Structure formats: C-alpha cells, structure tokens
Amino acid sequence: MESLRLRKKCLLGLFLSITAVVFYILIYGVYDNYKNPWDNAWKSSIHNKNRGENARNSSFYYKHPSSNTFTSAMPGISNAHKNRSRLKLILFWNKYLGAEDNHYGYGQRGFIKYKCKYQNCETTSDRKRLNECDAVLVNVGRNLIPSQRPFNQVWVGHTLEPPAQGNTYSHVTGGKLNWTLTFRLDADVYDPYFAVTKKTDAIALGYPPMETKTDYASYKSKLIAWVVSNCHTRSKREQYVEILQRYINVDIYGGCSKIKCHGSSQDCLRKLGKMYKFYLSFENSICKDYMTEKVCNPLYAFMVPIVLGWNNYADILPPHSFIDVKQYTPETLAKYLKELDSNDTKYNEYFEWRKQYTIHSSRFCNLCEALNKDITPKYYDDVAAFWDYKTYCLSPSQYYHNITKEITSDEH
C-alpha cells in the first residue's frame, strides 16, 4: 500500500514537472516572438548564414534552398492580406516632399478619388498605429525607419525620385524592405506618375473620356514652350536646348528665364496649350523608366510632348502622341517640327489617341491591389542595388552619343 502511494506521488510529480516545462516553453517562446519578431528573424539569418545558405530565414519569411521563391514559414502568414472585405491599413512612416500624408490624404479618400480597382485600403501617418498596419510605406530618400518590426507586416520602400548619386541607402539595407514601390517597371509594385487606359476600360472605372476637337492646330500661333526651374541638371537638358535653339525657336518660362508663367502649373500649361503646338518634356535625370508629370501635363493641355529620358515611350504612352529626341539630331528634329507646323493634317494626327485612350492618376492603386492579392513574400538584403545610380542611370555622354557630340560631360 505504502509503495503504491509512493508510485502515485512520483507519477504526479513527473506530470507536474512536464506540464511546467511545456507551459514555460509556450509562454516564453510566444512572448519572445511577439516581443521582437524582427530580432528573431535576424538571429535566424545568422544561423542560416553559418550553414552557407544565401536566404535569410525568418520566423515569418523563408526561402527554399533550391529555389528563388520566398514563402511563409508559418501557416496562414502568406494569406495575411487575403481577406478582401476588411480595410488594409497603410502607414506613411515619414514625409514625402514635405507632406506627412504624402500628398495623398488620409483614410480611403485617395483610393476613392483615383477610382482604384481595390478601394478597401486606408492611410495614416499615426505611428502609434504601427502594430495595426498591413504595410508600412518608407520613403527611401529619408534616414528614418521603424526600430521595431511588428509581426506579419510588409515594409515598402517608396520613391518617385530617380536614384541619387552616392546614396548607399544604408538605412534600409539588411533585409528591412519587402517590396519596392516606384516608377520602375520592374518594381514589386509599379507606381507611375500617371496611367494610360483604353477608353472603354476607363469609362467602366468611372473616368471621363478625354476632350476631343476637330482641329488642334489653327488656333496656335507659336511652336515650342518649355517651363523649367532647375537650370543645371544631371541630364544636361539645358545644353541640348541651347543646341536646338540654333535651328528653331524655344520659348522658355519659369525660374530659368525672365519670362514667367503665372498661376498654378496646370493653369500655366493650359494657357500655353492655347498658344503652343509643342512642349519640351525633358527629365532632369536620365534614369531607367523615369517619366514624370512633365510628359502627361502637356498631353492634357493639347500640346505634343517632345520627350527626353530613358524610356521605351511607345510601350507606355498612347500611340503617336509624342516625339522622342532620341530619333533625331537637334537639326533634324527642328526640321521635322517645322514640317508639322506647316501641315495641320499631320499635326492633328498626334491627337487621334484622344478618341481611344484616357490619361489619369492611379497613385497607390497598385499597392492596395497588391495587399489584396497573394503576392509571394520577399525581402531585399541589398536594396541599394535596386537604386544604384551607375546601373540605372545614363550619363549625358552615354545618352547623347548618337544625337550630338557636343554634350560630353560625364557624371559617372
């Protein structure tokens, strides 16, 4: 009897000991993961690095050693944004062009305003809501980034500016970013300055059709306008204009000229569109896919943009809506513009696209759509490589090589 009681006590003690150990592992293991999942991810990466693997395996993202695919390391994580009925919260972590709301507004306002396909996203700049967010938008041009990473969250590196020469982007290296959100066509989420949509699709989304006319030439008495405030650029566009002016007149407005164009930039372009046939849409940097409002604004204002940049414009802009300087020397470009000026029929052909296409803003629409879809998780160990100036920007001598030999200064 005494031995039976002793065995029961031993078994009870063993059961309580095992229970205590399991309880300790569960409580402290979960707490440690919750407390700082990014720290655990970093520890995991060190462990895998010692094993000779290239991937950074974390508590929430991992890369299969035999592939380039990143998937979820825990059940349900890859479907974190699958619930399309709930709002996806996007946190603007830092200012963009001086605005805390990134010039977009808060809540769902922007997604509704731009008639996004997915509108179940809202924005905030309230950092107290960091733990609630589905995505954190980080302006890669600023040295500010959250110090703690909440569990199951997408960090998005965003910029609409071209790569900065000499910037190492060290504050966002080391696997901190999951997605890139830029004007680059190879970004994880494409975020262009403007979108071009076929008229039927645009009307279905709620965009009004472009205004059309029967004649775009007869009421215009001048040839080329250019509004510019940055007088010394990496693209050396100002030098190209000096050469072009030997063969054709260019009226320059803005900070680089004594002639001013009053009102907002849109008001100014509308005024110029009533007088001028062509507009110089010259980018300040010659970087891959970098195409700004300098191109779409004259299209709105009934002028033909003359484009200068590193783009395959035919793949992005409406057909026969622009003139690319890369196709001409300054002298032959001037000759062609004069031909169009003397032939209203040929000039008006540059506006036929307005019957078939619509130009509109789609800012952050693709980001909201991405958060509603099952996009494979990933990270950037060396994000500087994505914004490398020497790789993704051309020097003036490289760009103008077949256009003119007079622009030879090289910044690379």
* Active-site residue (options: 100, 161, 242, 339): 161
- Considering the domain boundaries, does residue 285 fall inside one? yes
- Considering the domain boundaries, does residue 56 fall inside one? no
Q: In the annotation, is 161 catalytic? A: yes
Q: What is the pLDDT of residues 133-190, one digit of tens each?
A: 999 999 887 667 777 777 778 999 998 888 876 666 666 767 788 999 999 999 999 9
CA dist 11 and 327 (Å) reads: 88
CATH number for the domain that contains residue 239: 3.40.50.11660
Task: Of 380, 374, 378, give the one whose Cα is nearest residue 76.
Answer: 374
Average pLDDT over residues 308-330: 96
Domain tally for the chain?
Answer: 2
CA dist 313 and 18 (Å) reads: 68
Q: What is the pLDDT of residues 369-399, one digit of tens each?
A: 999 996 666 888 887 888 888 899 999 999 9
pLDDT at site 18: 64
pLDDT at site 53: 27
pLDDT at site 13: 64
What's the domain range around 219? 209-357
Task: Of 242, 248, 401, give the one whose Cα is nearest residue 336.
Answer: 248
Q: Which residues have CB under 8 Å from 59's CB, separation 6+?
A: 33, 37, 40, 41, 44, 73, 74, 151
For 18, 136, 348, 359, 382, the CA distances from 354, given in Å and listed in that order, are 75, 37, 11, 9, 42
- Where does the pLDDT of residue 28 fall: very low under 50, low under 70, confident under 90, or very high at 90 and above? very low
User: Token digits for 398?
Assistant: 């490289």
Do 291 and 236 lie in one domain? The reply is yes
> In this structure, are residues 157 and 140 in contact, taking their beta carbons and an 8 Å threshold?
yes
For 83, 158, 286, the CA distances from 142, given in Å and listed in that order, are 32, 10, 22
Average pLDDT over residues 225-242: 96
Comparing 35 with 150, the larger pLDDT belongs to: 150
Do 117 and 225 lie in one domain? The reply is no
Do 353 and 367 lie in one domain? The reply is no
Do 282 and 244 lie in one domain? The reply is yes
pLDDT at site 44: 30
- Where does the pLDDT of residue 410 fall: very low under 50, low under 70, confident under 90, or very high at 90 and above? low
Comparing 202 with 58, the larger pLDDT belongs to: 202
For 282, 290, 293, 302, 322, the CA distances from 296, given in Å and listed in that order, are 12, 13, 5, 10, 10
Total Cβ atoms within 10 A of residue 261: 17
Do 142 and 248 lie in one domain? The reply is no
Do 102 and 136 lie in one domain? The reply is yes
- Where does the pLDDT of residue 67 fall: very low under 50, low under 70, confident under 90, or very high at 90 and above? very low
Q: What is the pLDDT of residues 244-298, one digit of tens each?
A: 999 999 999 999 999 999 888 889 999 999 999 999 999 999 999 999 999 999 9
- Considering the domain boundaries, does residue 280 fall inside one? yes
Average pLDDT over residues 235-245: 97
CA dist 253 and 262 (Å) reads: 10
pLDDT at site 173: 67
Do 270 and 173 lie in one domain? The reply is no
Average pLDDT over residues 54-76: 27
Do 176 and 230 lie in one domain? The reply is no
Do 259 and 346 lie in one domain? The reply is yes
Do 102 and 162 lie in one domain? The reply is yes
Average confidence score pLDDT of the chain: 80
Q: What is the pLDDT of residues 340-353, one digit of tens each?
A: 999 999 999 999 99
CA dist 379 and 44 (Å) reads: 14
- Considering the domain boundaries, does residue 346 fall inside one? yes
pLDDT at site 254: 93
pLDDT at site 375: 66
Q: Is 302 left (phi over 0), alpha (psi -120 to 50) or beta?
A: left
Residue 203 host element (H or E):
helix 199-205
- Considering the domain boundaries, does residue 266 fall inside one? yes
CATH number for the domain that contains residue 109: 3.40.50
Q: Which residues have CB under 8 Å from 93's CB, separation 6+?
A: 125, 127, 136, 137, 138, 139, 144, 145, 146
Q: What is the pTM of this model?
A: 0.77
CA dist 308 and 282 (Å) reads: 5
Which of 307, 323, 357 is the endpoint of a domain?
Answer: 357
Do 271 and 173 lie in one domain? The reply is no
Residue 344 host element (H or E):
helix 344-348
Pairing of strands 61-63, 70-72: antiparallel
